[in-house]
Amino acid sequence: MKQRLTMLLAAMLLMVGTALAQTRVNGTVTSQEDGQPVIGASILVVGTQVGTVTDANGKFSLTCPAGKNMLRITYVGMEPLEVSARPNMRIVLTSDQTALDEVVVVAYGTQKKSAFTGSAAMVGAAELDKHVTTNVANALAGTVPGLQIRGGNNAPGASENGKINIRGIASMYANTDPLVIVDGAPYSGSLSNISQDDIESVSVLKDAASAALYGARGAAGVILITTKKGNKQAPKVNVNMRWGANSRAVQEYEKITDPGQYYEMAYAGLYNYYYYGQGKSAADANKEANSHMISALGYQVFTVPEGEQLIGMNGKLNPNATLGFAQKSKTSDETYWYQPDDWNDAAYKTGFRQEYEASVSGGTDKSDYFISAGYLNEDGIIDNSSYERFTARFKANYDLTKWLRVGANVGYVHSNTVSNPNNDEYQLGSTNLSYYTSRIGSIYPIYVRVLDANGNPVIRTDANGNPQYDYGRPGTDYPNSRAFLQTGNPLGSNRYNDLTIGRNQLNATGLVDVMFTEWLRFNATSTINWTHANYSKYDSQLYGPKVSVNGEILKYQNDIYRQNHVQTLNFAKAFNAHNVSATFGHEWYDQKYTYLTATAQGLFTPEVKEINAAANQQYKSGSYTREYNVEGWFGRVLYNYDEKYFADASFRRDASSRFDKDNRWGSFWSVGAGWLINKEKFFTANWVDQLKLKVSIGQTGNDGLPFDWSYTDIYTLSSSSATQMTPSFSRIGNKDITWETTTALNIGVDFALFKNRLTGTLEYYNKKTTDLLFWFSVPESFGATGYYSNIGDKRSTGVELTLNADIIRTKDITWSVNFNIAHNKEKILKLPENKIKVNGGFAETWIPWTSGASNGSVQMWYEEGGSLFQPFTYAYAGVNENGEALYYYDEDLSPLGGKVTANNTAKAASKKSGTTTNIGEASRYAGESMLPDAYGGFGTTLNAYGFDLSVNFDYQIGGKIYDRQYAALMSNWVDNGDAGSAFHVDLLNSWTPNNSSTNIPRFQYGDQYSVATCDRFLASAAYLNFQSFTIGYTLPKSLTSKIKLDKVRVYATGENLCFWSARKGLDPRYDYGSTEALTPYSLMRTVMGGIQVSF
Amino acid sequence: MVTEFLDENKNMKKSLLYSIVAAMVMLVTLNSCVKEIDPQTNYVTAKQAQDAPGSFDSFVSSLTSSLNGEFTYGGSSHYPWDFGYPSFFLQRDVMGQDIACESSGSEWYTTWYTCGTGLGPTYAVCQLPWRYYYKWIKNCNIVISLAGPEPSEDKKDGAGIAYAMRAMFYMDLARMYSQETYGKNVEAETVPIVTESTADPANPRATNKAMWEFILSDLDKAETYLANYKRSDVYTPDLSVVYGLKARAYLTMEDWANAESYAKKAMEGYTMMTRDQYLSQKEGFNKPNEAWMFGLTFRSSDPNITENDADSSWGSQMIIEVSASECGYSANYVGPKRIDAHLFNTIPASDFRRMCFIDPAVDAVLSAANPKTEDGEAAITAALSPYTDDPMGVYNTGYNVSARGSVGCIEIKFRPKDGEHANQYEAFTVAVPLMRVEEMKLIEAEAAGMQDQARGIALLTAFAKTRDENYEYGLHQETYYNTSNSMFQNEVWWQRRVELWGEGFATFDIKRLGKGIIRSYEGSNHPAGYQWNQESTPQWMNLCIVQTETNNNPACTNNPTPVAPKGDSPKFSF
C-alpha cells in the first residue's frame, strides 16, 4: 500500500513521448495480490520513448513503433515485467517482496528509504494490525527501538498519552515528550482520538537530521502519523469488526489476605512492643497487644467467647474465633455486624469491548479518496469507566488541471467518556481506587451491615433504600472509627457520583499543490484542529461530603483551537547522475485554549444534573484562556549522485512565544550523508543486497517549559473582597531564557543480506544537550524556589540494533522473526555552579515534569559526570542483634564520626564508616543510575496456507525502581496512624529472636525507621511483557470469490497478555524512579476476536 | 499528452508564479510575527500587574488578604494545614502542652505535636513556614520598592502597612527559629533577613540583636507612615497595631519600659471582650469586636473554603459545632482539639473563660445517658446546653467521632459563623483574631511588674477580675521546670495561656520564659505515647530550616533535627 504513495509523482514525471504509429496494442494491468486493476502503471515500449499509463480501470492502449514489440510495465512496489506486445493483453503484476525502497515519511514529505541518511523507524498498517489499541502510541513500545513509554493513564478515553521517551531523556527540566505530527500538523491532543484503522503509518524520527526541520520542538524526537489515503483504483470496501474483553493486567502484591493472619501480624508488632520494648510480662503483653490492636484497627471481625483474647499466647488466632462480630449500637436499636469484604473483587471486573470499522477507498486517474467510519465502545475494568467513540474521515485529492491539485482531509471524532469520579491516580489516598484496594487491610468491610430481625447480617440501607457503604466515619457508619483512610470509600463514591466527558474533535486539512514545471512545485497546507470538551461532574446529594449542601454539580468546557499553516516550494531535478531536490518553507502554528467552568450547589434532584436546577448557582465559576504560538522558516536540500552517494542539509529558523521577544528566534540545522556501498563496482559480495553507511549530525531545540511565561515575573491574583483582586508574588522570571539545544550525531549501517532474508540496522548516537533550561534554585527566602536559566549540559549516548529475518520464505509459508534492542546511557556534563558548590552535587525530588513521576518520588542525586536517576537514599545495613534496621553513616557527614555536629544529608556520602539505628545520624548515598541497561522487543510472524500468526514481546534488562508499594506493605506501625494497611507476606520472615538470620528488621510497633527510604527497596526494573498476539485465517480466494468477496479473514488478537518482573505486583513501567503513580489503567489486558471483509 | 501538459503549464506559468508568490508573501506577512502573549487567567506578568488600574493599592491590599484562604504552600487542597496564618497558631500551640491532640492517624497536626520526622529539613512540614513567611515578606518587599525610599503622599499608607507586616513576619520567624530568646542570648541566630534590596544568595542568619533592630526600624517607619492612616476594618494594620507589634517586640527583648509604654499606646480606643462576647455561641472568636485590634477573615470565595469541602481550613480544625455537616476534621473525621486537662483544672469555676471548654464532669452525665431514649437525649441536651446550641452534634463528635468517647476538655472557643451547624461552607467563613487588646493588657501588666512588681500585680489583678470576679493573685504560679522566672511572671504566663489559648502564643511564651513542658501527670488527656515531660524547652520548638534554603544559601546554618522522646515520661505531680 505505502509503496503507492509516490505513485502520483511517478506518473507525472514519467518521460514519455509520441512517435510514429505502427502496431496498436491494448490490455489491462491487474495486481496479483487482489486482482484489482492497477491504475497509473507505466507501459514503455522497450528501446523507444513511446509509452503510456493505465487508466482508472487499469486499461491502456498504445501503438508500438515498427520493429519494437517488447513492453516494460513498471509500478512502484511491484516487480517490473517485460512482455511481448499483442492485442487484449492481460498483464498481472506481482508485489515486489524484496522492495527495500520503502518510502519513509519524513518531515514535510517522504523519502526513499535507501536515500535516507537519518534515523527513523517506520511502523506500517500491517504492523499496527498486530495490536489492538485505543491509543496507537501503545503499539510503539517494543516495536520502535529506542522508544519507551512510562506511566500514562490507559483508562478508556483518557485524555493524556503515556510519557514517551525517544533515545533517552531529552531534558532535565524541560519537555521530554516527542513532537507528534498528524498529517503534517502538530497534534497535541489525545491519540485516542485517531482510530488505529485510519492510520497508514507511524514514523518515528530519532536523529537530528530527520527532526531538525521541526526546529525548536524536535529535540525529543518526532512521531509522524499519516492517515490512509485512497489508491487510483476501483472502489474497494473494507469492513473490520471485532468483539472482546478488557481485563486487569496489573498484578497484586503478595499480601496477607486471610483476616485471621492479618490480626496475628498486627498483634505480633504490638506484642513485640509490649514484651521486648516495654518489658511487660508475656501475659500482660498479650492482653495489652490485643486491646491496643482492636482499638487501633477500630474493627474486630471475629467473635471470641466472653473473656478470651482474639490472639492467644501463642500468637495465633483463638481457635474458638468465628468470623463476624456483632456490636450493639449505643445510639439506636440496631446491632452492627462486622465482616471483611474482598475489595479487589468488588472493584475490578471484565469489560466488554466492541469495535467496528468500515472504509471505502479508490480513485480515478485524476483523484483518490478514502472514506471511513468507525465505532468503538469499551467498558473499563472498574465501574464507571467506559469509552464510546465515533469516528469519520474523508480524505481526497483531486487534480483540477494538469498543474493544479487540491486535497482535503477531514476527520471528525465524537466520544463519550464515563470516568471514575473518585479515581485520582495522582494522589495516594482515598480517592485513588487502585491504591485504596491494594492497601487496605484484609479485615475491612465495604458496606455497613446490621443484623435483621432474624439475626442475619444484612447490608444497611439508607432512607432512599440504597446500600450504605462504610466510609469509616464513627457514628455515621459503624460506631467505631476505621483506621484505614477514614472518610473514604471509593466504591461508595462511585455509586453516587459521576463524571462524564463528551468530546468533539474536528481535524480539517486543505491543501493546494501547484506544479509550475515538472521540477518546481508549490504546496500550501493548512490544518485546523478544533476540540471541544464538555465535562460534567456530579457529587451526590444523597451521600458523602456534599450532603450538607444538597449536592454539587461542576461543569466545565474547554475549546482548543489549533491552526497550522505551511507553505513550501519544492524543487526536484536530475542533472545527468546528479539528483537534487530542495524544499523551502514557512510554518506558523498557534494553539488557543479557552476554559469555562461553573459549580453550583443545592440540586433539585439527581435526575437533573444541570446548573439551572441548582439553588446556589453563584457558588463558583471561572474561565481562562491560554495561547501558544510558533513560527519557523526552513529549507532542506537533498542531493544524490547516481543514487549511490547521498547528502542532505537542512536549516530552520524558529521563534517561540515561550521566550522573551528578544530571545525568541533560534537557528537549527543538520547535515547528513549516506553511501550505498553495494552499488560500487568494486563491491562484489553478491550475498549482500544492500549495504549503506549513513551519518548525520544536527541541532534541534526544546522550548518545552511547563510554564509559558518563565521569562518574566509572575503574580498570582486572589480576591481581597468581592470587588477587588490583588496580586501577590508567585514566580521569578528570567528574560534571558531561550532554547536548550540538542546536538545529535547518528552513525548507522543499513543492511540486507541473502536475498533480503536478513535485514537490519545498527545505529550509534550521541546527543548532547547544552544550555539546558535548568531549574536554577535560589534560597527559598527569596520568596520562590528558583527560576529557569540556560545552564548545564547533558548527554545521551546509545546503540540500537534492529534485525528482521525471513527464516522460511516459500510460496505458501513465510516465517519471520524480528528483534530489536536499545541501550541508552545518560550523563550529566555540567551543572550550575551554585547548585553544586556546597555539596558537589545536589539532591532533588523534582525530575522532568513530563517523565510521569509524581511528587514524592524518591530523591535523586545530580552531579557532574553522574547519570540521571541516581537514587539518593539511606543505605540499609541489615539488622542488629535486636532486630532493628541499621543504616550506614559516613564519618565525615554524621555526628557519629565526631567531625560535624549536625547530620548532613544534603551531600552524597562516600564512606560506609559504621552503622546506626537512628536515621537522624545516617548518611545518604547516591546509587547507580536506575535507568535500564537495555530494552526493546522481539516477535515472530508466521503465514502458512491462509493462517497468520504473530506474537510480540517487549522487555527491559537492568535498571532499578524504588518499590514504594512494597516498602509500604513492609512497614510496621510507627504509631496508630499506620494501623489498617495491608501487610506483605515477607513480613512473616521478620527478625525475631528465633529467626535472627533474616535481613528483614523486627516487626515492632513504634520502631520509627524500619522502612526508611533506603536502597533496600530498590528493586530490579527488568521485565518481560507478552505484549500482543494475533492469529488469523484468511479464507481461500477460490471460496470467497464465489460470494464476490476479495478477502475474508477471521482472527483473534490480544494485548498485554502476561507480565513478568522481579517481584509479583511490581510494574517497572510506571516510572523510571518509583512505583508512585498507581492506576488500575497502567495497562489493560484486551483480548478480541473479529472478522475482516474486503470487496 | 505530456507535451500538452508542459505547454499548458508554460502558458500558465508566469501569471501563476506571480500569483502564488504573492499569495505566499501575503500568508507570510499576515503571520510573520510571533505573537506576544500575556497570561489571561488568575496570574499576571509583572508588567500587567503594574499597569493595572489602582495597581499600588492592589499590591498593598494583597499583603493582608494573602494571609489566609489560599493554598499558598501546595497550590491545592492536598494538605489540610495549608490555610495560612492561623495554621501557624495551631502548629505552635500543639508543640507545647496546652492543646491535647487526638492520636488518630488523620490528625494533621501530629508532626508538630509528636516531634515527627516531618520536622526534619527535607520535609514539607519543615518547608511550610519558610515558604509562607518568605512569600509574605517578598510581597512586602515589592510594595516597599514600589513606594521607594521616600514614599509620595499617596503611597505612605501602603508603605506603612508593608513595613508593619514585614516586621510582624520577621518577629514570628525570629521566635520560631532562634534557639535562644533575645533575653537570653542576643547573639543567637534567627533567620536570614531578606529586604527589597537583598541580592546575594549567601545570606547568613541574623543574630537576635540584628534581627530585632531591623524589626524595630521597620516598625519605626510604619509608625511614621501610618500616622494619619484611617482603616476601614480591622483586617489591615493601623497605628495601634504598630504600637501593639512594638509592645510584642519589646516584651521579647525584655525592654520592659518600652513594652509597657507601647502596650498602653496600643490599647487606646479598644475595650476588652465582655463575658457575653467571649462566650457568644454565634459570634465567639469568629467576628471582630471592640477588643480586636487586628484580624483576618476567611471569605466564601477562598479556595480554602470552596475546595475539598472546606476541610482544608481553619474552621475544619477549630470549629467543633458542625457535626451535621458531616465534614470537618474536628467535628467529623478525627476529633476535636482539647485543652490540656491540667490547665483546664487550674481555671477556677468562677472564671468565665472555663466555659470555652467542656467540663469533663459533663461526661458523667453523658456517658450514663442513652441517646436512643427521649430521656437520654434530654439529659444530654441539658448537660451540654450551657456550652453549645448544638448539644447532640457536640455529643456525636465527642462520643462517636473522637476515639476518646468523651466531651471533656473539648474547645468550643471558636464558634461557627452565625451559629451555622450544617453548612460548613458558611460555618467556616469566619474571622480570626491576630491581636486583641487583652494581650496588650497582659503585656502592660508583665512589663510593669518586671519594673515594679506591685504595679504589675495591680494591673494583672485588674485584668483578671474582668474574667473572674473572685480572682486572687498568687494561685497560678506553676514553674514548668524553670524556677528562675519570677512567680509574678509565671502568674502572667498562666493568664496568657488561658486568655490566648489557641491564638498562637504558646510556643513563643515557652521559649521566651525558658519553660519545659508537662504532658504526663495524673489525669492527663494527652494520648499515651506522647505523654512527654521535658525539663527544658524542647528542641522541636526550634524549627529546622528547610533544605531548599540551606542548599542554596551557603551562609545559612541549620538547627539540629529534633529527636522525639522515647516513650511516656513518669507522671509529674503538680
Question: Of residues A158 and B62, which shows the higher confidence score?
Answer: B62
pLDDT bracket for residue A4 (50, 70, 90): very low
Q: Summarize pLDDT for A254-301 with one digit per residue, the tens.
A: 999 999 999 999 999 999 999 988 889 999 999 999 999 998 898 999
Beta-carbon contacts below 8 Å between A and B: 294
Q: Summarize pLDDT for A495-521 with one digit per residue, the tens.
A: 888 889 999 999 999 999 998 888 889
The C-alpha cell that represents B5 in the structure block: 501538459
Residues 6+ apart with CB under 8 A from B251: B259, B443, B446, B447, B512
pTM over 0.90: no
What ipTM did this prediction achieve? Answer: 0.89
Question: Of residues A546 and A301, which shows the higher confidence score?
Answer: A301
How confident is the model at residue B118, as a pLDDT? 86
**R_g of chain A computed on alpha carbons:** 33
List, in sequence order, every residue forming a beta bridge with A817; answer none if it has no partner. Answer: A805, A940
Give A-chain residues touching B203 at CB under 8 angstroms.
779, 781
Q: Is A958 left (phi over 0), alpha (psi -120 to 50) or beta?
A: left
The Cα–Cα gap between A693 and A672 comes to 11
Question: For B136, which residue in chain A has the nearest alpha carbon?
Answer: A783
Cβ pair B37:A779 closer than 8 A: no
Q: Summarize pLDDT for B377-411 with one digit per residue, the tens.
A: 999 999 999 999 999 999 999 988 888 889 999 99
Cβ pair A714:B39 closer than 8 A: yes
Quick one: which of B317, B395, B346, B392 has its CA closest to B494? B346
Residues 6+ apart with CB under 8 A from B308: B77, B80
Q: b/e for B348-376, b at 16 or more Cβ within 10 A? A: eeebbbbbbbbbbebbeebeebebeeeeb
The Cα–Cα gap between A873 and A879 comes to 17
Give A-chain residues touching B211 at CB under 8 angstroms.
none
Task: Find residues 889-918 of chain A whose CB sits inside 8 Å of chain B.
Answer: 901-903, 905-906, 918
What is the DSSP annotation of A618-641? EEEEEEEEEEEEEEEEEEEEEEEE
Q: Is B105 helix (H, G, I), strand (E, B) or coil?
A: coil
Cβ pair A715:B46 closer than 8 A: yes
| H or E element at residue A860 | strand A860-862
Quick one: which of A147, A118, A115, A121 has its CA closest to A212? A118
CA atoms within 13 A on the CB side of B429: 16
Give B-chain residues touching A976 at CB under 8 angstroms.
103-105
How far away is chain B from the Cα of A565, in angstroms, using its nearest Cα? 9
A1008 and B CB contact within 8 Å: yes
Give B-chain residues touching A894 at CB under 8 angstroms.
none
Indicate if the pLDDT at residue A198 is higher than 60: yes
Least-confidence region, from A101-115, B210-224, B253-267: A101-115
Question: Of residues A917 and A103, which shows the higher confidence score?
Answer: A917
End-to-end CA distance of chain A: 16
Quick one: which of A191, A433, A476, A378 has its CA closest to A1078? A433
Indicate if the pLDDT at residue A714 is higher than 60: yes
Count the helices and strands in chain A (H runs, E runs).
11, 57
Report CA A380 to chain centroid distance, whole Å: 18
Which residue in B44, B117, B403 is closest to A481 by CB distance? B403
pLDDT bracket for residue A15 (50, 70, 90): very low
Least-confidence region, from A115-119, A390-394, B331-335, B398-402: A115-119
How confident is the model at residue B56, as a pLDDT? 95
The Cα–Cα gap between A67 and A20 comes to 12
How confident is the model at residue B15, as a pLDDT? 57
Give B-chain residues touching A654 at CB under 8 angstroms.
none
User: Beta-carbon neighbour count of residue A945 at 10 Å?
Assistant: 9
Task: Find residues 1026-1055 of chain A whose CB sits inside 8 Å of chain B.
Answer: none
Sign of CA dihedral B224, B228, B234, B236: negative
How confident is the model at residue A454, as a pLDDT? 92
How far away is chain A from the Cα of B1, in angstroms, using its nearest Cα? 8
Average pLDDT over residues A1085-1091: 92
Question: For B424, which residue in chain A has the nearest alpha carbon?
Answer: A548
Average pLDDT over residues A150-160: 71
Give A-chain residues touching B23 at CB under 8 angstroms.
524
pLDDT bracket for residue A846 (50, 70, 90): low
The Cα–Cα gap between A411 and A906 comes to 54
How far away is chain B from the Cα of A463, in angstroms, using its nearest Cα? 16
User: Beta-carbon neighbour count of residue B183 at 10 Å?
Assistant: 15
Sign of CA dihedral B167, B170, B172, B178: negative
Question: For B57, which residue in chain A has the nearest alpha carbon?
Answer: A726
How confident is the model at residue A1078, as a pLDDT? 64
Average pLDDT over residues B499-511: 97
Task: Find residues 588-647 of chain A whose CB sits inside 8 Å of chain B.
Answer: 588, 590, 599, 601, 619-620, 622, 624-631
Indicate if the pLDDT at residue A46 is higher than 90: no
Cβ pair A906:B550 closer than 8 A: yes
Q: Summarize pLDDT for A586-630 with one digit per residue, the tens.
A: 999 999 999 999 999 999 999 999 999 999 888 889 999 999 999
Which residue in A476, A483, A781 is closest to B549 by CB distance? A781
Q: Summarize pLDDT for B121-159 with one digit per residue, the tens.
A: 888 899 999 999 999 999 999 999 999 999 999 999 999
Least-confidence region, from A984-988, A1059-1063, B227-231: A1059-1063
**R_g of chain B computed on alpha carbons:** 29
pLDDT bracket for residue B4 (50, 70, 90): very low
The Cα–Cα gap between A815 and A806 comes to 6
Cβ pair A330:B371 closer than 8 A: yes
A1094 and B CB contact within 8 Å: no
Q: Is A797 helix (H, G, I), strand (E, B) or coil?
A: strand
How far away is chain B from the Cα of A338, in angstroms, using its nearest Cα? 17
**Amino acid present at A769:** T
Question: For A594, which residue in chain B has the nearest alpha carbon?
Answer: B40
Cβ pair B4:A567 closer than 8 A: no
Give A-chain residues touching B548 at CB under 8 angstroms.
777, 779-780, 785
How far away is chain B from the Cα of A761, in angstroms, using its nearest Cα? 40
Least-confidence region, from A196-200, A241-245, A744-748, B279-283: A196-200
Indicate if the pLDDT at residue A19 is higher than 80: no
- Our CA angle for B52, B56, B60, nearest 5°, is 125
What is the DSSP annotation of B326-338? T--IIIIIS---E
DSSP class of residue A277 equals: I
A14 and B CB contact within 8 Å: yes
Indicate if the pLDDT at residue A1031 is higher than 90: yes
Task: Report H helices in B98-207.
Answer: 110-113, 124-147, 156-177
How far away is chain B from the Cα of A59, in angstroms, using its nearest Cα? 17
Task: Find residues 917-956 of chain A whose CB sits inside 8 Å of chain B.
Answer: 918-920
Give A-chain residues touching B5 at CB under 8 angstroms.
402-403
How confident is the model at residue A41, as a pLDDT? 82
End-to-end CA distance of chain B: 114
Task: Find residues 461-520 of chain A whose CB sits inside 8 Å of chain B.
Answer: 473-476, 479, 481, 483, 486-487, 514-518
A327 and B CB contact within 8 Å: no
Q: Any idea which residue has 504490638 for its cell?
A: A270
Average pLDDT over residues A318-328: 93
Cβ pair B37:A627 closer than 8 A: yes
Task: Find residues 347-376 of chain A whose CB sits inside 8 Å of chain B.
Answer: none
In angstroms, the Cα distances linking A789 to A671, A792, A868, A1006, B92 are 29, 9, 19, 45, 38
The Cα–Cα gap between B456 and B467 comes to 17
Q: Average pLDDT of chain A?
A: 86
How far away is chain B from the Cα of A33, in angstroms, using its nearest Cα? 31
Average pLDDT over residues A730-746: 91
Give B-chain residues touching A663 at CB under 8 angstroms.
none
Cβ pair A486:B309 closer than 8 A: no
Give A-chain residues touching B131 at CB under 8 angstroms.
780
Cβ pair B551:A515 closer than 8 A: no
Cβ pair B556:A976 closer than 8 A: no
How confident is the model at residue A38, as a pLDDT? 78
In angstroms, the Cα distances linking A903 to A345, B55, B115, B552 are 47, 47, 17, 17
Cβ pair A834:B23 closer than 8 A: no
Q: Average pLDDT of chain B?
A: 92
Q: Summarize pLDDT for B355-376 with one digit per residue, the tens.
A: 999 999 999 999 888 887 889 9
pLDDT bracket for residue A905 (50, 70, 90): confident
Average pLDDT over residues A832-846: 82
Share of chain B above pLDDT 90, in %: 80
**Amino acid present at A357:** E
How confident is the model at residue A424, as a pLDDT? 65
Average pLDDT over residues A474-483: 82
Cβ pair A487:B122 closer than 8 A: no
Q: Is B124 helix (H, G, I), strand (E, B) or coil?
A: helix
Cβ pair B62:A728 closer than 8 A: yes
How confident is the model at residue A69, as a pLDDT? 79
